[in-house]
Structure 1
Amino acid sequence: MAGVASPTAAFPSLETALKHHFGYDQFRLGQRPVIEAVLKNQDALVIMPTGGGKSLCYQLPALLKLGVMVVVSPLIALMQDQVDSLTDNGVPATYLNSSLDFNAIRQREADLLAGKIKLLYVSPERLIKDRGINPAFLGLLNQLIQTVGVSGFAIDEAHCVSEWGHDFRPEYRQLSVLRETFPQIPVMALTATATERVRVDIAQQLRLRDPLIQVSSFNRPNLFYEVRPKGRDPYGELLRQVKRHQGSGIIYCLSRKRVGELAEKLTADGQSVLPYHAGLSDETRRENQTRFIRDDVRLMVATVAFGMGINKPDVRFVIHYDIPRNIEGYYQESGRAGRDGEPAHCTLYLAYGDVATADYLIGQKPDETEQRIARQQLRQMIDYAETSVCRRRVQLSYFGESLEGLCHQCDNCLNPPPVEDWTIEAQKFLSCVARCQERFGMAHIIDVLRGSKKQKILDLRHDQLSTHGIGKDRSVEEWRLLGRSLLHQRLVDETTDGYPVLKLNAASWQVLRKQISVEVAVPKDFAPGPAEAAAIEDTPEVAQLLTVLKALRKRLADQQSVPPYVVFPESALRQMAQTRPQTIAAFGQVSGVGSRKLEQYGEVFTDAIRQFCADYGLESDPGAGRRRSRPARERRQAVGDTHRHTLELHRQGLSLDEIADQRGLKPTTIASHLEHLLRQGESVNVDRLVDIDRQQAVIAVLTEMENASLTEIRDRLGPAYSYEDIRLVRARWQTEQPKV
């Protein structure tokens, strides 16, 4: 039977249990109330964005309650990845799926019945057979209930339950048999995306009883969104962007053919890349996905078949080379970037030829209702791509969430078009919706406003409405711009059943009564947005130590045949690089270091950090993380012995390479020492290190792109200019600028 153990029995508080098992000091927003509800055996519906911490909502209760938590997960790769991560944290978890042979299954079932396992992952196909519970699995469940107990059922990726979701799976719809067969066992449903309609459908289909409904914000503030037009050389632009980005990336395409072509071109241009689509064999897909997750390759070019199985938290960029089919799918796919909370970049390339391809693919659907709904969703996606308002506002509005002000993390916010007062036009538009009795879509309303004499207008006698022809002074595109803006600002509603009919809401009537005004962002000619999301540059020491720690993490992960992020997420490595913990006690304070991680990795990582600090004459620096967000000119660090040694050799007239050879260090490290010395006011002869003509070229770019990163500056100058040259010239140039 389902049971609960008070967290105080083993831990003074839920936070203590969280730190012990998972290494985190506090819960993320929304996690605690869900965990408390699950501990009380209450049903729950959890909507949290990708990277928001959904899994913890059932994993921690599973460790605190009596019995086994059964987790339904849609993909073998996803459940294997979850089990790997849990096992590395010392959490007893396992899975049962078709990848296991008979003996392995029997051993795992024996471990379950012996009470050695707290979380069991299964696929819906293994759970359900012929619209009921698979008899073989039903037998195991009954044995578990009679022995160790079953603490609950967790339905992951629960949007698959709803036919209104973006990834509906019929077998998920049959999971209601769990409630019918085991009415006493609590059920929780979890997903990253669900509109109000999908949430209601999930609760009804799974027969949740008075569930706690936790809907966290869909806002992912660490993601930067931009839309770029596909120009004459789209591949060249894509290649340049890929080279500019650091870290792992995913490039999504609509067709298998496009995936293959891009993967081949990128490989030929020296990029570390693999393809992924449904046309490849299961074995090839698994191998390619594993190599990407384990950082053996940097890029994955894929169709949307490369979806829910991706649990890689350190993807730094996602590029949609073709337009996605709907906003919900785009939110999910772009959301595979930055799951670790670190800055990440999401780019969508727009070409109207791709829209035609997407429409053709929709036309292949056998069901006309599905086609109709899919075409409406595609039009919403085009509206998103064409909009001149905050892109995050459009996304959040789709999920019924509002955003006040600008996000400052999208191309439209950082390069905003001028805003104009269109209140009178909005009143005309909304009045026309009312006169047409809220029974028509945007195209018809615009036809009436512009005085069209189409046969449909005449047959409906809409040419006799008072609003007929009152909008002749505006073009069709201007009225569409207004209509989209009203929808994005939630000043008018639109039905979502495939027949996009405009409906007035309370805010619409406020506009009509002159109680609120309407402002519309009018697009300028396209100007390329900022190259990448603004990320705070690491100090040279942090960047170098982070490289060392990543290499160590990769080696340890390869030894265990797990992805690197299973050892530690990148955010934990970055905190180590910033604070440089050199004792086990200090290492245990790093976020993400729980009891098991401390025991397993504490010594090897602190050894590596101590060695690095000894090589570079550095101390442990608990304040480094706090100073990281301050402007460079406000950071003042003492000049250590290692920097003094470099300065002495420089003043003896040695070049960068000569100093590096004599000290047994890399020229990049010596350049970072000299940069640091320059910023501390020490005298460094840059003229002797960098040719005057080259300095002038660098300064010209700096004057034009003052806040650009080293990578952006070098991209502008070309490969003939070294990072060392740019770093030194930039440091002197910045220190010579007048303080404001």
Structure 2
Amino acid sequence: MQIEKSLFDNLQIFFGFDTFKGEQEAIITNLLQKQDTFVIMPTGGGKSICYQLPALMSEGTAIVISPLIALMKNQVDQLRAFGGSDSIAHFLNSSLNKSEVAKVKKDVLNGDTKLLYVAPESLAKTENIEFLKYITVSFVAVDEAHCISEWGHDFRPEYRRIRQVINSIGENIPIIALTATATPKVQSDIRKNLQMVDATLFKSSFNRPNLYYEVRPKINVVKEIVRFIKNNSGKSGIIYCLSRKKVEEIAEILKINGIKALPYHAGLDARKRAETQDMFLMEGVDVIVATIAFGMGIDKPDVRYVIHHDIPKSMEGYYQETGRAGRDGGEGRCIAFYSEKDIEKLTKFMKDKPVSEREIGTQILKEVIDYSESAVCRRKQILHYFGENFDATGCNCMCDNCNSEFSNFDAEEPLVNVLQFIKDEGDKFDDHHIINVMMGQNNQPISSYKHDTHPLFGIGKEKGIDYWKSFFRQAVLENFLSKDIDNYGLLQLTQKGEAYLSNPYAIKFILNRPMDKASEEGETQANTTGGSAVDGTLLKLLDNLRKKIAKQKSLPPFVIFQDPSLEEMCIHYPVTLDELKQIHGVGSGKAMKFGSQFVSLIKDYVEENEIERPVDLIIKGTANKSALKVSIIQNIDRKIGLDDIASSKGITYEEILKEVESIVYSGTKLNINYFIDEMLDEDRQDEVFDYFKEADSDSIDEALKELGSDDYTFEDIQLMRIKFMSEMGN
């Protein structure tokens, strides 16, 4: 009872709380009794108090191992504010100079410091190990413990040496390991590596009922993001990108569009990162655009949205990053943008890694793909990934899938077939192999197991591959099958699956809605609304005007403006040339040459129909792209080869063609004859040029069909289309 009384007294004294949250009290009591403790608690669940309070109550100093300097600083600042003394908590890491290190060590030796935060790299230094041998260590807290596991989303090799270092510091030192994200596999790795197999496990539900989960196709993503933020003006949010370059670019676009935003990534110096973090905490800035380096341990309870510009590499990463929204129990929108192109990029990143690491990465990435493409309750999928069964009715329509209408299909027959196949053939196959059997796709693994002669071979071909992918996701989600992620994702029959085989019953699965998988070209061609409706009446008027001008100038209509540009005009209603220049595919050249009649028509139409124009949603572009375009134009003027320009800019040949095309389509005249002459002889150039003169559309695919794909490559036609547009339209 004495511990219990002092626990509540100290909770009130140090932190000002009257009650514990969830299992905090039991966790702290366990640690005070010198027992190894393993805590799995979602972001916002109050993990830090689980080691901070017992450290303040124990004799000696608790060592807190933490992966990020920003996280350490944030927690040390908070503890000093609670404890009223700067010496009560310190961090020991590479950011300190010699005199600062000496001050830390003096306070620790004097017994004034109750918590000492260290990075795993600092902990392993010989001089620090020798120093720590001289002090009384109350316990060791391993924060973000998932970093121990190669199967975790943030693997840090230094974490795997922690046990070895603890053993060299002293004997029988209790350990508390804490994480917000750990699959059963990662949990097992943590226990084994820290040699705490007998630790008491405290596992809270991973469900965050106040978070709304949504996955959108990655089409016109920047416009979608600006539109969303403008509609949630004044609210705090985080946007995650995979690359530093993209972070800088998005932050710049947001600022240009009047949004208080700052970039945050590891390429910025420590002082700048700390300033940015403080600005966000103090609400001097609304939005942080960041790589995954931002957010770990940042205690800002009122983040109202987390947007993933790029789909994350793992479900653990996704869960932890979305978990930074709505920590106060209030609104938390979690929007992720998904495209197959991003998955291809992430797969390429893994290409040069060792085989075992690549296999692990592939399995982890596959879980993200399944989550993004599935039509099943998002919350159910997330919780299942972390080993928690959840009834989708409990989602309360707090995800896009539960909020949408969906169709079911009868799954009894295919389920019996698949379960029987695995029972007969053994748990040696992943879903990809069994889908190939069902689809009748013969390859070396299929024939080597003689599955091309199996009765099920080709039986489900007419259903299509998306059907089978969705089927297997739901069979796993409903626990008829389990996926052995540790062993290349091989499928195993569960007890529920065995029982179903013995006694089948009618069961429905959700029919997958295909995720819009926009290709690079598809993104440009896509309706730029992101949900807004195109004004069909105005579109007809603009199309007629385009045909009239094209006829007067003896040009194909697409040379004047492309369809996506007309469609965007029918959403934003630009009534001045300056506004017209903000429309996709319309630059200064096009606006000056053809724009006046279009804006005049739109202005009259808006006045006649009393239309309210969404002027604030005309998204201004970034100057960075302009700098690239200027550099490309200058290089072309100097007759430098497009492939050489691409190489010097660190982009691909395909990307340089896209940039050049964008410049020309926006109305700037470019002479790339010097380059085309090296690629195509005069006759072939004339043939393609003449084709575009008569063509109804500027589609490269249609041109290849007409001209013959054996005679021309995609890039050949693209180059000639650039030449044609430049000479005829500009």
Fold conserved between structures, TM > 0.5: yes
Relative to structure 1, is the Cα distance of residues 718 and 281 closer, same or farther in structure 2, using a 3 angstrom cutoff?
closer
1:449 aligns to 2:438 (yes or no): yes
SS in 2 for 1:438: coil
Matches within 5 A, 1:152-163: 152-163=139-150
Q: Conserved in 2, the CA contact under 8 Å of 1:316 and 1:344? A: yes
Q: What is the rounded CA distance, in whole Å, between the counterparts of 1:498 and 1:289 in structure 2?
A: 40
For 1:329 and 1:209, the matched residues in 2 are separated by 25
Deviation of 1:303 after TM superposition, in Å, equals 1.8
The answer on 1:167 being equivalent to 2:158 is no
- Deviations for 1:215-250, whole angstroms, at most 9, x for unmatched residues? 11111112110011122x221111111112242111
Within a 5 Å distance, the mapping from 1:115-154 to structure 2 comes to 115-129=111-125, 134=126, 136-145=127-136, 150-154=137-141
In the alignment, the residues of structure 1 paired with residue 362 and residue 386 of structure 2 have an alpha-carbon distance, to the nearest angstrom, of 18
**Gap change, CA 1:455 and 1:515, over 3 Å in 2:** closer
In the alignment, is the contact (CA less than 8 A) between 1:435 and 1:467 conserved in 2? no
Aligned with 1:244 (options 221, 226, 231): 231
Counterpart contact for 1:432–1:449, Cα < 8 Å? no
Cα separation, 1, equivalents of 2:459 and 2:299? 54
Aligned-pair CA distance for 1:174? 0.7
1:425 matched to 2:396: no
Alignment deviations for residues 337-365 of structure 1 (CA, whole Å, 9 cap, x no partner): 2223322110001122222222222224x
d(CA) in 2 for partners of 1:454, 1:471: 17
Counterparts in 2 of 1:232-311, with a 5 A limit?
Answer: 233-245=220-232, 246-308=234-296, 310-311=298-299
5+ residue gaps, structure 2, are 517-526, 531-609, 618-730
Amino acid at match of 2:108: L
Residue 202 (structure 2) aligns with:
214
Q: Which of residues 102, 106, 122 in structure 2 aligns to 1:106?
A: 102
Q: CA deviation at 1:19?
A: 2.4
1:370 aligns with 2:357: yes
Deviations 1:468-505 (A, max 9, x none): 33324422221111011112222211221362221111
Q: Do the aligned residues in 1 keep the contact of 2:373 with 2:514 (CA within 8 Å)?
A: no
Residue matched to 1:17: 10
Deviation at 1:279, TM superposition (A): 3.2
Correspondent of 2:314 among 308, 326, 329: 326
Amino acid at match of 1:441: D
User: Matches of 2:464 and 2:514 in 1, distance apart?
Assistant: 17
How far apart, in 2, do the equivalents of 1:393 and 1:85 lie? 35
1:390 maps to 377
Q: Name the structure 2 match of 1:338.
A: 326
Task: Quote the offset at 1:517 in angstroms.
Answer: 4.5
1:501 aligns with 2:490: yes
CA distance in 2, matches of 1:342, 1:162: 32
Q: Residues 321 and 348 of structure 1 are in contact (CA less than 8 Å); yes or no, is this contact kept in structure 2?
A: yes
Query: 1:435, 1:465 within 8 Å by CA — same for their partners in 2?
Result: no
Q: Which has the higher contact order (CA 8 A, sep 6+)?
A: 1
**Partners of 2:195 and 2:361 in 1: how far apart?**
28
Change (3 A) 1:472 1:352: closer
1:701-720, aligned counterparts within 5 Å?
none
State the TM-score, normalized to the length of structure 1: 0.66
Match of 2:594 in 1: none
1:66 aligns with 59
> Separation in 2 of the partners of 1:111 and 1:256?
39
Q: CA–CA distance in 2 between the matches of 1:142 and 1:376?
A: 42
Closer, same or farther: CA 485–82 of 1 in aligned 2, 3 Å: same
Deviation at 1:296, TM superposition (A): 2.0
The 3 A distance-change label for structure 1 pair 299 and 715 is farther
Give, in whole Å, the separation in 2 of the partners of 1:65 and 1:430. 55
- The letter of the residue matching 1:319 is I
Provide structure 1 residue ranges, at least 5 long, that are not aligned to the other structure.
Answer: 532-696, 699-713, 720-740
Q: Report the CA distance shift for 1:300/1:435 in structure 2 as closer, same or farther (over 3 A).
A: same
For 2:70, which of 70, 73, 77 is the aligned residue? 77
In the other structure, the counterpart of 1:435 is 424
SS of 1:417's equivalent in the other structure is: coil
Give the AA of the match of 1:42: Q
Displacement, 1:185?
1.8
Aligned Cα root-mean-square deviation (Å): 2.9
Separation (CA, whole Å) in 2 of partners of 1:435 and 1:39? 52
Letter in 1 for 2:78: S
**Structure 1 residue 97 and structure 2 residue 88: aligned?**
no
Choose the corresponding residue for 2:23, options 26, 30, 35.
30
Question: Contact between 1:429 and 1:449, CA under 8 Å: does it hold in 2?
Answer: no
Q: For the structure 1 residues 392 and 140, does the alpha-carbon distance in structure 2 shift closer, same or farther, using more than 3 Å as the test?
A: same
Secondary structure, aligned partner of 2:305 = strand
For the 8 Å contact 2:129–2:169, the answer to whether it is kept is no
Q: Which residue of 2 aligns with 1:360?
A: 348
5 Å-filtered alignment, 1:307-706, equals 307-308=295-296, 310-364=298-352, 366-406=353-393, 407=395, 408-497=397-486, 499-515=488-504, 517-524=506-513
Deviation at 1:401, TM superposition (A): 0.7
Distance in 1, Cα, partners of 2:37 & 2:51: 10
Asked if the contact 2:416/2:504 (under 8 Å) is kept, the reply is: no
Structure 1 residue 90, shift from structure 2 partner: 2.2
Mapped partners of 1:39, 1:516: distance in 2: 52
Query: Deviation of residue 14 (structure 1)?
Result: 2.6
For residue 20 of structure 1, report the CA deviation from its aligned partner: 2.6
Q: Which amino acid aligns with 1:466?
A: P
- Matching residue within 61, 80, 84 for 1:87: 80
Q: Is the 8 A contact 2:151 2:360 kept in 1?
A: no
Does the C-alpha gap of structure 1 residues 524 and 166 become closer, same or farther in structure 2, counting only changes over 3 Å? closer
Secondary structure of the 2:135 match is helix
SS at match of 1:144: coil
TM-score normalized by structure 2? 0.67
Shift of 1:52: 0.8
Shift of 1:322: 1.1
Question: SS of the residue aligned with 1:412?
Answer: coil
Kindly provide the amino acid, as one letter, of the partner of residue 465 in structure 1: H
Give the Cα–Cα distance (whole angstroms) in 2 for the partners of residues 67 and 387 of structure 1.
51
Q: Cα 1:29–1:416, aligned 2, differ >3 Å: closer, same or farther? A: farther
1:86-122 per-residue CA deviation (whole Å, 9 max, x = no partner) reads: 1222263222223233333333333223332222212
Residues 372 and 498, structure 1, Cα contact 8 Å, conserved in 2: no
Distance 2:271 2:613 in 1: 39
- Cα distance in 2, alignment partners of residues 494 and 340 from structure 1: 35
Cα offsets for 1:155-192 (capped at 9, x unmatched): 11111122221111111111112035422221111111
Moved more, 348-357 or 416-425: 416-425
Report deviation, 1:449. Answer: 2.0
Q: Please name the residue that 2:178 is paired with.
A: 190
- In 2 relative to 1, CA 210–457 (structure 1 residues): closer, same or farther, beyond 3 Å? closer
Task: Give the match's secondary structure for 1:264.
Answer: helix
CA contact (8 A) 1:511 1:518 kept: no
The answer on whether the counterparts of 1:78 and 1:311 sit within 8 Å (CA) in structure 2 is no
Cα distance in 2 for residues equivalent to 1:30 and 1:716: 50
